[in-house]
Amino acid sequence: MRRIAVVGGSLAGVHAAEALREHGFDGDVTLISAENELPYDRPPLSKEALLNGMPMERLSLRAPEWYEDNAVTTRLGNAAVRLDTARRTVLLDDGTTVAYDGLVIATGSRARRLSSTENAPPVQILRSIEDSLRLRERLRPGQHLVLIGAGFIGLEIAATARQLGLDVTIVEVGRVPLGRALGDEVGAWFRALHARNGVEIVCTCTVEAIERLGEGAVLTLSNGRVFNADVVVAGIGASPVTEWLDGSGVQTTDGVVCRSDLSTSVPGVAAAGDVARWYNPLFDEEIRVEHWTNAVEQGRRAAHTLLGHGEAFSAVPYFWTDQYDARMRFVGRASAASEVVVKESGDDRLVALYGRDDRIRGAVCVNAPRELVRYRTAIRDQVRWGDVTETPSAIGG
Ligand code: FAD
């Protein structure tokens, strides 16, 4: 194998390129990215960078000289538009092609947008550095920010906006924030956290209409309420970027379908990060994870697999979110859990466990680092549910 192309110049892509060199691959490595910037980190975009601004040097995943030192050729501002797996070429949007012997797909996910109508005002999203800069520009003290969707990104933006002195309302279709991801008990804890910090969260409600009003908007909710907003942001989830693979033979179903070692249906092609759906033997299910640590670890594993050292990727998923003084860490899987137990719950601390098939599967720890380590080990070792908790209650019940 002489030429490896990595499509997607972000977290998974950079770690794939780095691991190729660490494993002694001395052929050509080309990193192709639709974005104009060198790969940068996304988590600060809704936190420190949105609050205080952050220079590109601090956001960049690697210094500019790293690419030269590691002989990684970058093709920035070039989206891959088609993959020809028979000829082993990637067609870019400027009409040029990149030939490869091995390929890593690391095109991540994109923020979902609300369907827009003619008189619709701009509804912002937050995925890229440009989005973050644009939003930061618009977050002025005393203004009213409306967030559509109380997922992680929406809640982080809410916390940042409160610190910047805005009034914040969140409209959420579910019964509680984060309900789908973490269940009603933990969602209720986050609702209370935001209420204490002055955020109004309107649950079991949708936005029926948004109309432009000057620079801002008038929103009509499904409960009949009508109010004005200076800034509207949608945080309604993300979708894997796979349309450029249509017709290539690489199997996709809500992401690139991978084997447990992250190889795909096409020889010489592996996938990593937000875009990859793979069979995780630890949980005995196919999953796709949109978290930072997963993208780092999978980028590295996809590189190993291409170089012929494939092994099952069975890491325990890990995610963090910082909102006000709450440092939430999550390990494992919650969405497929059938039981949840709240072990501890106070204003500044929360520990909740998730179980399925008589095993601990996940844990949420807010400001509880020791518990996080303990339960992460328990999940990896597939400890029995009864050994970590004695009083299970049905999730969302
Ligand atoms: P991405 O970061 O999505 O990168 C994919 C790259 O591929 C992008 O640069 C994209 O432009 C490029 N691309 C797409 N299509 C093409 C194409 N056709 N051709 C060429 N290039 C293409 N995770 C946490 O665990 N904790 C957090 O606190 C946290 N906070 C976050 C805050 C924000 C605002 C966001 C947006 C994400 C956050 N995440 C967090 C999630 C984490 O950043 C992602 O899981 C991670 O970025 C995924 O990396 P990736 O390389 O797989 O994909």
User: Tell me, what's the pLDDT at 393?
Assistant: 44
What is the chain's Cα-based Rg? 22
Q: How far is the CA of 283 from the centre of ligand 1 (A)?
A: 24
Cβ(48) to ligand 1 under 6 A? no
Mean pLDDT taken over the chain: 95
Cβ of residue 366 lying under 6 Å from some atom of ligand 1? no
| pLDDT for the residue numbered 183 | 93
CA dist., res. 141 & res. 139, Å (int): 7
Residue 214 confidence (pLDDT)? 86
* Gap from CA of 129 to ligand 1 centroid (Å): 11
Q: Report which ligand 1 atom has the smallest distance to the Cα of 79.
A: 19
- 114 falls in which pLDDT band (50, 70, 90)? confident
Q: What is the Å distance from ligand 1's center to 240 Cα?
A: 10
Any idea which of 106-120, 290-304, 346-360 has the lowest mean pLDDT? Answer: 106-120
Please tell me the pTM assigned to this model. 0.96
Determine if ligand 1 sits within 6 Å of the CB of residue 289. Answer: no
- For ligand 1, atom 33, which residue shows the shortest CA distance? 43
Nearest alpha carbon, ligand 1 atom 1: 108
What's the pLDDT tens digit per position in 16-34? 999 999 999 999 999 999 9
* Residue 44 burial (10 A CB sphere; 0-12, 13-18, 19+): middle
Q: Is 274 in the pocket of ligand 1 (CB under 6 A)?
A: yes
Ligand 1 atom with the shortest distance to the CA of 238? 36
Instruction: From the CA of 320, give the closest atom in ligand 1.
Output: 26
Q: Confirm or reject: Cβ of 80 under 6 Å from ligand 1.
A: yes
Binding site membership of 43 for ligand 1 (Cβ less than 6 Å): yes
| 8 CB within 6 A, ligand 1 | yes
109 Cβ inside 6 Å of ligand 1: yes
Q: Which of 91, 135, 241 to mutate to test the pocket of ligand 1 (most atoms within 8 A of CB)?
A: 241
Q: Does 64 have pLDDT greater than 60?
A: yes
> Nearest to residue 156, comparing CAs of 40, 350, 321, 329?
321
Q: How far is CA 225 from CA 16, 221, 253, 308, 343, in A?
A: 49, 5, 38, 59, 37
Q: Which of 47, 73, 288, 292 to mutate to test the pocket of ligand 1 (most atoms within 8 A of CB)?
A: 292
Least confident of 47-51, 239-243, 332-336, 340-344: 332-336
- Minimal-distance CA residue to ligand 1 atom 36: 127
Q: Is the pLDDT higher at 378 or at 336? A: 378
Which of 81, 63, 60 has its CA nearest to residue 72?
63
Task: Supply the pLDDT for residue 152.
Answer: 97
Q: What mean pLDDT comes out for the span 311-330?
A: 95
Closest ligand 1 atom to the C-alpha of 11? 51
Q: Are strands 167-171 and 269-271 parallel, antiparallel or unpaired?
A: unpaired
Q: Which domains does the chain have, with CATH numbers?
A: 3-110+238-306 (3.50.50.60), 129-234 (3.50.50.60), 325-389 (3.30.390.30)
Q: Decide whether any atom of ligand 1 lies within 6 Å of the 319 Cβ.
A: yes
For atom 2 of ligand 1, which residue has the closest CA?
Answer: 10
153 pocket-lining for ligand 1 (C-beta < 6 Å): yes
Q: Does residue 36 surpass a pLDDT of 60? A: yes
Pick the residue whose CA is nearest to atom 15 on ligand 1.
107
Which pLDDT belongs to residue 382? 94
pLDDT tens for 190-222 read 999 999 999 999 999 999 999 988 889 999 999
